Amino acid sequence: MEGRVGAISAAVEPLEGPLPSGVGPGRPAMALPPGLLEALPQAILAFDAQERLTFVNPAFASLFPFMAAAARPGAALQEILRHGVAQGQFPEAGTRPETQLAWLAQELAAHRNPGPPREVALAGGGWVEMQEHRGPDGQLICLRSDITRRRMAEDRAQRHAEEDPLTGLGNREALFRKLGELPHGRRGRDPRSACLLLFDLDDFKATNANLGHAAGDALLVEIARRGRALLRGGDVFARLGGDEFAILLHGIGTPAQAMSFIGRLRVRLEQPLTLGAAIITPSLSLGVALFPEDGEAACALFRGAETALYQAKRQGRHGHSFFDRSIAAMLDRKARLTQDLRAAIAAEEITIALQPQLRTRDGRHLGFEALARWPSAAHPVPPSEFIPVAEEMGLIIPLSRLVLRRALEAMRSFDRLGLDPGRIAVNVATEQLLSEDFPREVRAALQQHGLPPERLEIELTETTLLDRSADRIVQVLREFDAMGVSIALDDFGTGYASLAHLTQFPVHRLKIDRRLVRSIESGDSASLIARTVIGLAHGLGLEAVAEGVETPAQWDYLRRLGCDVVQGFLPGAPFDVAGAAAHLSAGLVAPTE
């Protein structure tokens, strides 16, 4: 670049003037071939020390058609630029006098103190690279190159890399780039305040599972189409994955402004739509973080909105929540819990409790369910708290491996004591069933403990069957089935699993959720569901297991309904391993009659 600028200054100077740089004494001076400057595709302008135009080549007029008229010999740099701005040559200068003046001042400064090349947009969509060079005698050389093609290719590549292929919205990268561009240090009603809104669709998993993934995809596309119509230029609408979307709104800085947008968003997005033969009405859960008060850095703001969404979803469907520091404190606790749990798993501090399962008819012992326990935590943490954390934070696989090992060890120890523990049930999480190695791993563990697969049952919940990867899960379950391991569907009757799921997946037992068992004698809808589940199980050739049996009346009622197995505090609360051995050696639990 230096050499080229030197050559140009040689051309601009009278030929008998000083030698161009790079041409030293003792070497022949190289003359500029005639017509070279005229043929160059780059525009070149030269100004003297008083900023008067001394040279311009023809490429200038074709690159800057709106400014050509002003670029006459002797014209002042400032005048040429001012003319360009007035003619709308530079869209970045805007149309208002104050923005134009600011742009002009900035350009003049860049000319007077030349720095690295700048990329500048032109009217009509073109781009130029502008670079200035100041000679030792105060002369100013300006080079302008057309970089439109390169910019277009870059824009295309960026659009491609930052686009969600399904909906055509931006993706996570696009959102984070825009979050990174938010101006810092602004407050309140400033037009540069902004608001980040994350939302997802309630029950999307069920829509996907019941109507098929093509319908789920069509729903996402429609959500994107509806939402787009609400946005103004500069706002960002992105799909972050699954059914999670983000909207970054500029100029919305107060909760009231955000609420008014949420109202409009709901009106538009929550209109019913037809998906195949079904009509569904989308429902949104939203989390909101305000810029800059809830986070100035891109990831802090995003985390704030994520926290708020998490909070909204905890409160049920169709809710919204603003970022709140107390939620952040709760998440900090969760992070600590995760850390402690990871350490507890590594130190093998997780133990099991064994809860008996009995034949409803006569109270005969059939087996145990193994339930994870974390006894050594500073404050006892119940599984209802640490299991979801383990699932969310990627600890469920090592935790379950430990639970399975402890369960099989317990079975083995009962066998050695000459007791008959029956079958052992362990709970498995969706993530385990997504691993194709899981059946092999379980088979190896059974072999290692000398136990036949028939002694093991795995319990999975209804939501597992609704997973997007249900096809893979059904394969894994079939392997277990073929191996002889039985499969129970846990907490049944409160989720969304349909009859189709029960016939598609190899399931042997339905465990009626304890919330249904609790009101089984009341005659209300819960008891009706419980009765229906028992009928459904038998109709499909499956066994019905009632969880959470706490009263003799419940047990009695279940027996009359023909429920096969009972589990709960009445038949037996969860024991530690020694307690379970004592329970077995004490013999059968007496039936209630």
The footprint of Mg ion (CB under 5 A) covers: 427, 459, 490-491, 547
Closest by CA to 339, choosing from 285, 287, 297, 378, is: 378
Tell me how many helices (H) and strands (E) the chain has.
23, 20
Tell how strand 423-427 and strand 456-461 pair up.
Answer: parallel
The binder of 403, among Mg ion, ligand C2E, none, by C-beta within 5 to 8 A per type, is: ligand C2E
In the window 453-492, what residues touch ligand C2E (CB under 6 A)?
A: 459, 490-491
C-alpha–C-alpha distance, residues 377 and 379, integer Å: 5
CB of 119 vs ligand C2E, minimal distance in Å = 54
The tokens describing 414, both together, are: 């009962």
CB of 164 vs Mg ion, minimal distance in Å = 37
Which range of residues in 33-41, 326-334, 526-534, 546-554 is near ligand C2E by CB under 6 A? 546-554
CB of 382 vs ligand C2E, minimal distance in Å = 5
CB of 540 vs ligand C2E, minimal distance in Å = 21
Cβ neighbour number for residue 267 with a 10 Å cutoff: 11
> Contact between 495 and ligand C2E (CB under 6 A)?
no
Binding residue for ligand C2E, selected from 340, 462, 481, 547, defined by CB under 6 A: 547
Tell how strand 320-322 and strand 244-250 pair up.
Answer: unpaired
Cβ neighbour number for residue 219 with a 10 Å cutoff: 20
Is residue 38 within 8 A of residue 74, CB to CB? The reply is no
Cα 385 from chain centroid (whole Å): 22
CB of 573 vs Mg ion, minimal distance in Å = 15
Q: Specify the residue for token string 């209804």.
A: 462
The binder of 371, among ligand C2E, Mg ion, none, by C-beta within 5 to 8 A per type, is: ligand C2E
CB of 391 vs Mg ion, minimal distance in Å = 14
Binding residue for ligand C2E, selected from 6, 58, 65, 383, defined by CB under 6 A: 383
CB of 165 vs ligand C2E, minimal distance in Å = 34
CB of 377 vs ligand C2E, minimal distance in Å = 14
Is residue 321 within 8 A of residue 286, CB to CB? The reply is yes
Is residue 321 within 8 A of residue 287, CB to CB? The reply is yes
The binder of 462, among Mg ion, ligand C2E, none, by C-beta within 5 to 8 A per type, is: none
The binder of 270, among ligand C2E, Mg ion, none, by C-beta within 5 to 8 A per type, is: none
CB of 517 vs ligand C2E, minimal distance in Å = 8
Q: Cβ closer to ligand C2E: 453 or 574?
A: 574
The binder of 577, among Mg ion, ligand C2E, none, by C-beta within 5 to 8 A per type, is: none
CB of 369 vs Mg ion, minimal distance in Å = 6
DSSP state of 519: T
> Contact between 3 and ligand C2E (CB under 6 A)?
no
Give the largest Cα separation in the chain, rounded: 123
Q: Cβ closer to Mg ion: 240 or 403?
A: 403
Cα 157 from chain centroid (whole Å): 23
Q: Cβ closer to Mg ion: 473 or 489?
A: 489
CB of 513 vs Mg ion, minimal distance in Å = 6
Is residue 270 within 8 A of residue 282, CB to CB? The reply is yes
> Contact between 568 and ligand C2E (CB under 6 A)?
yes
Is residue 205 within 8 A of residue 466, CB to CB? The reply is yes
Which range of residues in 16-24, 216-224, 433-441, 568-576 is near ligand C2E by CB under 6 A? 568-576
- Give the interface size with ligand C2E as a residue count (CB under 6 A): 23
Q: Cβ closer to ligand C2E: 131 or 357?
A: 357
C-alpha–C-alpha distance, residues 220 and 239, integer Å: 9
**Neighbour order of strands in the sheet with 244-250:** 236-241, 244-250, 194-201, 284-291, 320-322
The binder of 383, among Mg ion, ligand C2E, none, by C-beta within 5 to 8 A per type, is: ligand C2E
CB of 447 vs Mg ion, minimal distance in Å = 24
In the window 341-380, what residues touch ligand C2E (CB under 6 A)?
A: 355, 371-372
The binder of 384, among ligand C2E, Mg ion, none, by C-beta within 5 to 8 A per type, is: ligand C2E
> Contact between 514 and ligand C2E (CB under 6 A)?
yes
C-alpha–C-alpha distance, residues 414 and 404, integer Å: 15
> Contact between 441 and ligand C2E (CB under 6 A)?
no
Closest by CA to 558, choosing from 510, 508, 521, 513, is: 521
- Measured in degrees and rounded to the nearest 5, phi and psi for residue 41 equal -75, -25
Q: Cβ closer to ligand C2E: 202 or 491?
A: 491
Is residue 562 within a helix (H) or strand (E), and if so which, with residue range?
none
CB of 205 vs ligand C2E, minimal distance in Å = 18
The binder of 569, among ligand C2E, Mg ion, none, by C-beta within 5 to 8 A per type, is: ligand C2E
Q: Is 463 helix (H, G, I), strand (E, B) or coil?
A: helix
Residue-level length of the chain: 593
> Contact between 131 and ligand C2E (CB under 6 A)?
no
C-alpha–C-alpha distance, residues 192 and 251, integer Å: 5
Q: Cβ closer to ligand C2E: 309 or 371?
A: 371
The binder of 317, among Mg ion, ligand C2E, none, by C-beta within 5 to 8 A per type, is: none
The binder of 568, among Mg ion, ligand C2E, none, by C-beta within 5 to 8 A per type, is: ligand C2E
Tell how strand 194-201 and strand 127-134 pair up.
Answer: unpaired
* 391-397 contacts at long range (C-beta below 8 A, 24 or more positions apart): 391/429, 391/430, 391/431, 393/338, 393/341, 395/338, 395/341, 395/342, 395/345, 396/429, 396/431, 396/432, 397/431, 397/432, 397/435
> Contact between 382 and ligand C2E (CB under 6 A)?
yes
CB of 217 vs Mg ion, minimal distance in Å = 32
C-alpha R_g of the chain:
36
Closest by CA to 426, choosing from 453, 441, 452, 404, is: 404
The binder of 534, among Mg ion, ligand C2E, none, by C-beta within 5 to 8 A per type, is: none
Sign of the dihedral defined by the CA atoms of residues 291, 294, 296, 298, in that order = negative
Binding residue for ligand C2E, selected from 240, 298, 366, 403, defined by CB under 6 A: 403
Where on the chain is the footprint of ligand C2E (CB under 6 A)?
A: 355, 371-372, 382-384, 387, 400, 403, 427-429, 459, 490-491, 514, 547-550, 568-569, 574
